[in-house]
Amino acid sequence: MAQAPSQSELQEGQIIAPGHSFGTITDKIGSIVQARRTPKRWWTGFLIGFTLMMLLFLTIGNLLARGIGIWGNNAPVGWGFDIVNFVWWIGIGHAGTLISAILLLLRQRWRTSINRFAEAMTLFAVACAGLYPLFHMGRPWFFYWLLPYPNTMELWPQWRSPLIWDVFAVTTYATVSLLFWFIGLIPDMATLRDRSKWWIGRVFYGILAMGWRGSAVHWHRYETAYLLLAGLATPLVVSVHTVVSFDFAVSIVPGWHVTIFPPYFVAGAIYSGFAMVLTLAIPLRKMYKLEDFITDTHLDYMARIMLTTGLMVAYGYGIELFMAWYSGNVYEKGLIANRLIGPYRWFFYALIACNVVAPQLLWFKKVRYSPWTLFVLSLIVNLGMWLERYVIIVVSLHRDYLPSSWGMYSGTGWDWSMYLGTIGLFFACLFLFIRFLPVISIFEMRTLLPEAHVHTEKEAKP
Amino acid sequence: MKRPPLDPELIRDRLAVEQGKRYWRSLEELADDPAVREMVEREFPDSASQWTDPVSRRRFLALMGASLGLAGLVGCTRPTGTIMPYVKQPEHLTPGIPLHFATAMTQGGFATGLVVESHEGRPTKIEGNRNHPASLGATTVQQQAAILGLYDPDRSQSVMFRDQPRSWMSLLEILRQRLQSSNKGKGVAVLCETIGSPTLEAQRKAFQQAFPELRWFTYEPINRDQVVAAATLAFGKPLHSYYRLTNADVIVSFDADFLAQGPGCLAYTRQFTARRKEGGKGVGMNRLYVVETDVSVTGSRADHRLAVKPSEVEKLTRALAALLKIDGVAMPTLDDKQRRWIEAVARDLTQVNQAPRPAGSTAVLVGELQPAKVQALVHAINHRLGNFGQTVLFTEPLPIAQPNQRQSLEALTTALAKNELDTLLILGGNPVYNAPADLPLGERLANKLKESKTWLAVRVGEHYDETSRACHWHVPRTHFLEEWSDGLAYDGTACIVQPLIAPLYGGKSFHELLALLTPIGPEGQSYDSRSVEEIIRAYWEQSHPKDAKESFERFWQRALHDGVVRGSTPPTLVPTLLDGFTSKPEMLPSVSPESDGLEIVFAPDYATYDGRFANNGWLQEWPKPLTRLSWDNAVIMGPETAKQLGLSTRVDQWKGGEHGSTIADTISLTAPPRYSLRGVPIWIQPGHAEGALTVHLGYGRERVGRVGTKVGFNANKIRPTSAWFLTGVKVSKLNQTHELACQQAHHSMEGRDIVRSGKVNEYKPPKKHALPTLFDGKDHPYDGYKWAMAVDLSACTGCGACVVACQAENNIPIVGKDQVQRAREMHWLRIDRYYETPLEDNNADPYYHFQPVMCQHCENAPCEVVCPVEATVHGDEGTNDMVYNRCVGTRYCANNCPYKVRRFNFLEYADFKTPSLKLQYNPEVTVRTRGVMEKCTFCIQRISHARIEASRGALEGDPERKDPHGRRVQGKELPYIPDESLYTACEAACPAEALVFGDLNDVARKVGTKGHPGSEVARLRESELSYDLLGELGVRPRVFYLASLRNPNPELEGA
């Protein structure tokens, strides 16, 4: 893991405040978990999340009892909030793997202080996302028919359907993310085990540490496994959202049948993923006074990635409009006209405002170094990305080929309660994570200290 | 504890639908039912305690006994008496093989022959009778939906006195006593709906002979008073008339919606559309002119349509008469447009290519609700054009008295006011609901009920409704599928109504009632004890010539089997007009109304007719052809009128939007002298005459059942007795709005190539070219059957019978108004309606296009590739099959369907609970649960049935089943399935034969020395008019359309 810090990086800005030692890092991060008192703010946040999570269970109960009809989905618009939110959550889940795997391979050492909770965020977002394809089905109790398993009906899934690809892409992604996250946690689990003053803590963290003793062999194996998983996870960053975009691109619905979708969806996913990391990191570092570790430089870097991916997404919007005109296809033109002047036009304009106009502020260094402006911007981008999925899914479906079938769609109260419920689930899990697991990788933070690089020369070439 | 009464129907229902494993379990449940326990207890009082003993030999024996006894109950559902199976007559009923019986449905006094499919004694589907002149194999929407009316759980189920169930015998005793104690029936009156049955008419005569002082009134809101009056005016007697449009080159309709309403509409549609398809197929296309107020189905098919206020129909008829130089008719004042129009019509009626048009090659039709003088004028016009005996046919008056119903109801109201009556028997109808506003019938009846001690009112009706509430007694009436009767078609041909099932709810038919009330014998002390079947049979036996070659028995069997009484069609005659009748005072032009206020015209509703079908869910949910409204009626007006009144409708963005929900302004209508309707919604109909409003009857029922109660508003509340339209109506806008369920509020095709249309002789189909493909794989050869459907848009009238036929055949649920508003209706087949503004003139009447759209069974189906579980797959005969029990409901297929024909069960729409509705289900089609996608299957169950029949025929060596193409599938010879042996439900119902289903591989070819004609669909596929809807997508649909052709008069074109 220990790499030579590149000169250029250090000049960018500081990624750890000066004056820290191995001990202070461990104390600071470990104390969040091992504090005897749970802060009031934590309780507030957790209870809000928990309450909303209960709303989710209520919605799911009602959904199972009565059917999809409690949502707003209808005849032209077969997918509404369900798939909008699925894609939104999956997109958010993208930043984690990107930060942990790709930035690791690219030796971006600043990732160290954000990778742990970004990965946790990924897991929770994928869990929220996963609920939607499951419960949007008319008969969710038969979800396992989408899995290839030997059965007396001698039936397999239909491999040409992008939904099957989805099942594999999302489950693979969830599995690899979980493994990656857990392996990254092992050394820290051992640290917490050793620091625990209470036997329950020692047992809990002891089990999770899986017998980690910090021997050279352990470290060697650990480094190899982590690097291999990073290699495995890297294509997933691209593949998951590519496959999600196939749900649309493979169909023949105008507005869905677009070849640019895979890269455009991946860029959008990273965009929204980093927005969500910022949304979480800024209050988090404030709440637990982690400005030493999550420095303004981190925020700056993330803002730059947002700006870059935001521009890619904007390019995608432009190309969609251009190709619709250039194709001369009456349905594509009709679709774009409907986007621009149809009944949902304000969704489109709001999306442009959120995703294209607002992020242009990130060109300014001042904005990038102003945490609260960034926080607001990240919320705007999250909203914008939700709108983007709404525009792609609902606005394409509601007016397709035959005007006789054109209709309108709007989410019902149960659509909103499901959405709020998944947000609740996300935050409830996140708060539990903050309380019980180290939000920042302790041992990796230690490697950022100068004293960790005494033997750099040798260790750099294992 | 009060025990519920034992309901054998319920038990029977339970047994009828439970099968297999569940049978035993439910039998146990059944045996534990308190009602059954009571029944057994009564039989074996000693062993009653055994039922509490969990397991015993006695209990086992009791269960066995119960199962035997209940098996007997199932048997009771069979109709009693002999009925003849139609077409297929197995030696005995084979379970699983449906039988078909001919019967007939009477509406407004005229019968249409039907063939009803019966599964083990329960009728499930109504088809038209190909032998019957009024059906020709087709049905109307209402006839299709009648099967649901039979199983309507809201039908009244027992004889009631006020709110208490009573026995039928006790009522009968009371009625007989009343009649016997009265002085020859004085003070007793009967109010009956229009009689259509000759036997009933004979029974009525006998009844009145027995009680000469008894008064018989007749009333139905939609009646033929004016038709009879017109014939009397023109010919001196009420000759019966009808049309034959086959040879009519030019047809002019004055407010006659002959393609969708009235007893002959199915036959007229067949005759009319035969001359519309493929440019008239050699004999030339006919031309239709329509003068009307609202846009009717007929008007939408017109080559030239003139929208006029209701009061102006007479003017235009007069103008045509004047132009045709009919004595005593002066030219009325017309505006320029009307004058030019009617002059062109007159020229077209009399000239063709500058030469005189041959006599008898035109037809002028007039609405049956138009005033008698207008109808009489049309007789004169047809006479002048030489159409008598050619396109307009006459017979002697039918053997059923046709009293003036308006006067009849007036007389009854007066008699009630003068206290001349003490007993009233109301047979059918629903006069309290649908009497005109100025006849306070309901009020009078209610007063009588409250005040008079001697008053007795008895109602026989299908539902305990508004009229029943105003009477003491209510008797459930049989549905027509439960009774023996007979009827006359629009041309006078007789047919026998056979029952398909014994009365579900113990209903009584009018025949039965009259027989039981008419004393016979010398002293008049005994009553007719014959069954209704015997009564009907006796009627026909007495008119059967004794010296006929055919024995009566054979004649009777044949009549039942065919559904038509052979040789009963009355001979036509060519009548002579009364001299100078056109100058009689009754024929004087009406005074044109003052221009103050609007005019309003009343019309029977396409779905609920006069309200009798209000509790029929299929009809309520069925979108009306032009407005596409369901679950409501509205005040219909033209766009200009709405603008002037400041009224509008807008799409409800929060529900299904243009595909489901429209918010309409509401108004309050004030009609002279003092009638008003408050809070009624409006609807804007392009093409509706300006300055006029149209309202449909049949809604606003106060009491009928869970479906129809309080749906829409009751237009009878402002309808006068005197006429079918009103002038001087005032409208004021209210602040409330009303949500209407409109299934298609988007009118435009958005310039897309959806409905292709053009003028006959000028239509140039776009060049067909093969779509380029990158696919180099091998296509499935489809070398066996290759099912396909042609939809002729020139022929489709938009009548919508196919939609309900599909619903009946395929167990399609109704979803209710709220779900329709959320764009979740389940119809597998829908009829899209578009408006197109003519290129020549922006202000002209729009063209109205109808396009039936069902699953297109794409060879390259986009739905199939996206289904994750292979729930929708391709059959090797080219059908796109839906496997309901494999479907997990991702809805991806529906999203990817460019035709949007897939329907999803968002909630549990199918009714698995109501016992009577379960009986209606077609056992060959799965009833879908919630969470499952469904769509048109091309009636796969019928295809399978035909395939099995063909295979059986081939095995038996039937030469007809030998495939003329010598096809082999998997080494086996393919049995031949000709067009006649396979009809989809929609195709069978279509009166225009616009839908043609068949084998695309069955092409015309020479076989040996004879030619093989091949299937109709294969022939149409080669027509240059044929095209694929959205064919450019490369999905290769198996449904194709034939472009819609018009035949406009060049003189009126570009005006």
CB B464 within 8 A of CB B474: yes
Minimal Cβ distance to B746: which of A69, A401, A406: A406
Beta bridge partners of B352: B355
Of A203-217, A242-256, B827-841, give the lowest mean pLDDT range.
Answer: B827-841
Predicted pLDDT at B594: 66
| Minimum mean pLDDT range among A249-253, A423-427, B60-64, B462-466 | B60-64
**What pLDDT, on a 0 to 100 scale, did the predictor assign at position B1?**
43
B583: Cα within 13 Å, side-chain hemisphere: 6
- Compute the distance between CA of residue B396 and CA of residue B188 in angstroms, rounded to an integer: 32
Domain of B981: which CATH number? 3.30.70.20
Burial label for B703, CB within 10 Å (0-12, 13-18, 19+), is middle
Res B881: pLDDT? 94
Amino acid at B539: Y
Question: Inter-chain contact A402–B867, Cβ cutoff 8 Å?
Answer: no
Domain count along chain B: 5
DSSP string computed for B801-821? HHHHHHHHHTTPPP--HHHHH
Residue A376's CB: how many other CB atoms inside 10 A?
15
Residue B486: beta bridge partners? B496
Which residue of A lies nearest to B872 if distances are taken between CA atoms?
A158
pLDDT at res. B2: 46
Residues in chain A with CB shorter than 8 Å from the CB of B886 are: 145, 155
Q: How confident is the model at residue B73 (pLDDT cuts 50, 70, 90)?
A: very low
Residue A413, chain B, CB below 8 Å: the answer is no
- CB of B751 within 8 Å of a chain A CB? The answer is yes
B284 and B169 belong to one structural domain: no
- Is A227 touching B (CB cutoff 8 A)? no
| Numbers of helices and strands, H then E, in chain B | 30, 47
Task: Tell me whether B1007 touches chain A (CB under 8 Å).
Answer: no
Q: What is the CATH number of the domain that holds B628?
A: 2.40.40.20
Angle at B241 (CA atoms; ends B240, B242), nearest 5 degrees: 135
Q: Quick one: which of B377, B371, B397 has its CA closest to B241? A: B397
pLDDT in tens, B731-745: 999 999 999 999 998
Q: Is residue B563 situated within a structural domain?
A: no
Same domain, B312 and B443: no
Confidence at residue B969, expressed as pLDDT on a 0 to 100 scale: 86
Q: Are B199 and B233 in a shared domain?
A: no
Where do runs of H (alpha helix) occur along B571-638? 617-621
Taking the C-alpha atoms of residue B630 and residue B660, their distance in angstroms, rounded to an integer, is: 9
Query: Measured between CB atoms, which of B751, B752, B823 is closest to A407?
Result: B823
Q: Which domain holds residue B379?
A: 225-395
Flag whether residue A170 sits within 8 Å of chain B, measured between CB atoms.
no
Residue among A386, A390, A384 nearest A343 (CA): A390
> What totals of helices (H) and strands (E) does chain A contain, helices first?
20, 0
User: CA B805, B791, B132: angle at the middle one, nearest 5?
Assistant: 50
Task: Please check whether residue B451 lies inside any domain of the structure.
Answer: yes
- CA B907, distance to chain mean position in Å, is 28
In a domain, B246, yes or no: yes
pLDDT at B1005: 86
Q: Which residues of B350-368 are buried (b: 16+ CB within 10 A; e: fewer)?
A: beeeeeebeebbbbbbbbb
Q: Is B355 left (phi over 0), alpha (psi -120 to 50) or beta?
A: beta
DSSP secondary-structure letter at B141?
Answer: H
Task: Write the CB contacts of B842 (distance below 8 Å, at least 6 apart in sequence).
Answer: none
Residue B959 placed within a domain: yes
Please state the separation of Cα B424 from the chain's center in Å.
31
- Least confident interval from A86-90, A212-216, A365-369, B61-65: B61-65
When comparing pLDDT for B707 and A4, which is higher?
B707
**A12 has a pLDDT exceeding 60:** no
Residue B572 included in any domain: no
Q: Are residues B375 and B432 in the same domain?
A: no
User: Minimal CA–CA distance to A296: which of A201, A200, A371?
Assistant: A371
pLDDT for res A5: 38
Same domain, B434 and B352: no
- What mean pLDDT do residues B293-304 have? 94
Residue B731: strand pairing partners: B669
* Pair (B469, B332) in one structural domain: no
Q: What is the pLDDT of residue B426?
A: 95
Looking at the predicted structure, is the pLDDT value of residue B65 above 90? no
Over range B308-326, report the average pLDDT.
Answer: 93
Position B190 scores a pLDDT of 95
**Do B194 and B205 reside in the same domain of the chain?**
yes
Q: pLDDT of A161-199, one tens digit each?
A: 999 999 999 999 999 999 989 999 999 999 999 888 888
* Residue B888 contacts A where some CB pair is shorter than 8 Å: yes
Average pLDDT for residues A358-386, to the nearest whole number? 93
pLDDT at B841 over 70: no
Q: What are phi and psi of B532, to 5 degrees?
A: -65, -40
pLDDT in tens, A53-84: 999 999 999 999 999 999 999 989 999 999 99
Per-residue model confidence (pLDDT) at position B49: 47
* pLDDT band for position B75 (cuts 50, 70, 90): very low
Q: B782 at the A interface (CB within 8 A)?
A: no
- Residue A219, pLDDT > 60, answer yes
Strands B725-742 and B629-630 turn out to be antiparallel
Q: What percent of chain B stands above pLDDT 70?
A: 90
Q: Tell how far CA A377 is from the center of its chain.
A: 17
Residue B74 pLDDT exceeds 60: no
Which of B380, B395, B410 is where one domain is finished? B395
For residue B363, pLDDT beyond 50: yes
DSSP state for residue B217 in the 8-state scheme: E
Coil, strand, or helix at residue A326? helix
In the structure encoding, which two tokens stand for residue B1014, read together?
A: 């091949």
Residues on chain B touching A139 (C-beta within 8 angstroms): 887-889, 929-932
Residue A288's pLDDT band (boundaries 50, 70, 90)? confident
The pLDDT assigned to B93 comes to: 67
Of B478, B470, B464, nearest to B452 by C-alpha is B470
Nearest CA to CA, how far is A393 from chain B (Å)?
A: 10
Output phi, psi for B716, to 5 deg.
-65, -20
Instruction: Quickly state the pLDDT bin for A30 (edges 50, 70, 90).
Output: confident
- pLDDT tens-place string over residues B31-40: 455 555 555 4
Chain B CB contacts of A398 under 8 Å are: 657
User: Within a domain: residue B553?
Assistant: no
Contact B291, B302 (CB under 8 A): no
Instruction: Give percent of chain A above pLDDT 90.
Output: 63
Is the CB of residue A428 less than 8 Å away from at least one CB of chain B?
no
* C-alpha separations of A183 from A176, B76, B88, B177 in Å: 10, 74, 75, 98
**Residues A389/A84, Cβ–Cβ less than 8 Å:** yes
Chain A to chain B Cβ contacts (< 8 Å): 198
Q: Is the pLDDT of residue B722 over 90?
A: no
**pLDDT of A359 higher than 60:** yes
Q: Can you list the pairs that B525-529 forms with residues at least 24 positions away whose Cβ atoms lie under 8 Å? A: B527/B176
Pairing of strands B933-934, B968-969: unpaired
Asked if residue B876 and residue B957 are part of one domain, the reply reads yes
CATH of the domain at B383: 3.40.228.10
Q: Which of A128, A127, A167 is nearest to A146 (CA)?
A: A167
The whole-angstrom separation of Cα B52 and Cα B996 is 62
Q: What predicted TM-score, i.e. pTM, was given to this entire model?
A: 0.89
Residue at B791: amino acid letter = V
Contact B823 A161 (CB under 8 A): no
Whether B746 sits inside 8 A of A404 (CB atoms) is yes
Q: Cis check for the bond before B673: say yes or no (omega within 30 of 0).
A: yes
Q: Band the pLDDT of B51: cuts 50, 70, 90.
A: very low
Task: Return the pLDDT at B9.
Answer: 55
Assigned domain for B2 exists: no
Q: What is the pLDDT of residue B663?
A: 94
Among B395, B420, B439, the domain-final residue is: B395
Count the Cβ atoms, other than its own, within 10 Å of residue A56. 23
pLDDT, tens only, B748-780: 888 899 999 988 888 877 777 777 777 776 778
Please say which residue of B712, B742, B772 terminates a domain: B742
pLDDT in tens, B324-334: 999 888 999 99
pLDDT at B126: 95
pLDDT at B274 over 50: yes
Subunit contact B822:A251, Cβ cutoff 8 A:
no
| Mean of pLDDT values over B259-276 | 94
Average pLDDT over residues A376-390: 95
- Average model confidence (pLDDT) for chain B? 88
How far A323 CA sits from the closest chain B CA (Å)? Answer: 18
Cross-chain Cβ contact B900/A408 below 8 Å: no
| B contacts of A161 (beta carbons < 8 Å) | 865-868, 892
In a domain, B520, yes or no: yes
In this predicted structure, the answer to whether residue B318 has a pLDDT above a threshold of 70 is: yes
B910 and B999: one domain? yes
pLDDT > 90? residue B804:
yes
- B660 and B728 co-located in one domain: yes
Report CA-CA distances (Å) from A375 to A372, A382, B245, B476: 5, 11, 77, 73
Task: Name the residue with higher pLDDT: B279 or B404.
Answer: B404
| pLDDT reading at B730 higher than 60 | yes
Q: Which of A143, A408, A412 to mutate to test the interface with B (most CBs of B within 10 A)?
A: A408
Residue contact B656–A146, C-beta within 8 A: no
Q: Answer whether residue B550 shows pLDDT above 90.
A: no
Q: Is B169 helix (H, G, I), strand (E, B) or coil?
A: helix
For the segment B865-891, the average pLDDT, to the nearest whole number, is 93
Contact, B365 vs B310, CB < 8 A? Answer: no
pLDDT of residue B81 exceeding 70, the answer is: no
- Nearest C-alpha in B relative to A408: B657
- From chain B, the residues in CB contact with A407 under 8 A are 656-660, 823
Average pLDDT of the residues in B7-15 = 53
Integer Cα distance of B135 and B500 in angstroms: 19
Q: Which helix (H) or strand (E) holds B736?
A: strand B725-742
List the structure tokens of B956. 């038996």
B209-262 pLDDT, tens per residue?
A: 999 999 999 999 999 999 999 999 999 999 999 999 999 999 999 999 999 999
Asked if residue B373 and residue B411 are part of one domain, the reply reads: no
**Percent over 90 (pLDDT), chain B:** 68
A307 has pLDDT over 80: yes
At residue B671, the pLDDT reads 83
Residue B390 shares a structural domain with residue B411:
no
Q: Are A161 and B866 in contact (CB under 8 A)?
A: yes
